[in-house]
Amino acid sequence: MRSGFTLPELAIVMAVTGLLMLIGIPRLGSALDRIAVDQAASDVTMTIAVARSLAIALGIRTRVLIRRDSLVVDTLGADGWAPWRASGGPDGHRVALDVSNPTIVFSGNGLAWGLSNTRVVLTRGSHAETITMSRVGRVKRW
């Protein structure tokens, strides 16, 4: 009765394992980039949707500040802008941010003030996602 493995058996197992790792590791990096960009895009779209819904529900102005390190929702009161909710920005997912209008203000009826469209581009590695928001508050992910 034999116990253990022979040297040729171990060499074959290690060669097959190395080949599988050689094939799988580059694909894993791309998948991780795609997941991180998707999560950052979900965070941005959710923050915009929350601010717009809050403006409609309370009938007040709200604003979204889109920054690399944070996503902030503020409400406009008698004393000016007051913080309502803040969360981590795309930097938390190690995703790069390019935004055409980092401040989005919604009126009490949910329409955006200021620039007519906002474009947010999130990139990491070879994966990128674009979010556009129209003046009427429609958000679209590309």
Mean pLDDT of 46-69: 95
Whether residue 73 lies inside any domain: the answer is yes
pLDDT-based confidence at residue 1 (cuts at 50, 70, 90): low
Average pLDDT taken over every residue of the chain: 92
Whether residue 134 lies inside any domain: the answer is yes
What's the pLDDT tens digit per position in 87-108?
999 999 999 999 999 999 999 9
Phi, psi of 7 (to 5 degrees): -60, -45
Q: Has residue 27 got a pLDDT over 80?
A: no
Residue with tokens 């508050």: 137
Q: What is the separation, in whole angstroms, between the first and last Cα of the chain?
A: 63
Question: What's the rounded Cα separation, in Å, for the pair 88 and 49?
Answer: 16
Share of the chain above pLDDT 70, in %: 97
Whether residue 1 lies inside any domain: the answer is no
Whether residue 52 lies inside any domain: the answer is yes
Give whole-number Cα distances, 71 to 6, 15, 17, 111, 127, in Å: 58, 47, 43, 19, 21
Question: pTM for the whole thing?
Answer: 0.82
Domain span holding position 41: 7-141
Whether residue 103 lies inside any domain: the answer is yes
| Beta-bridge partners for 97 | 122
CATH of the domain at 98: 3.55.40.10
Q: Which uninterrupted H or E stretch holds 84? A: strand 80-88
Share of the chain above pLDDT 90, in %: 73
How many structural domains is the chain composed of?
1
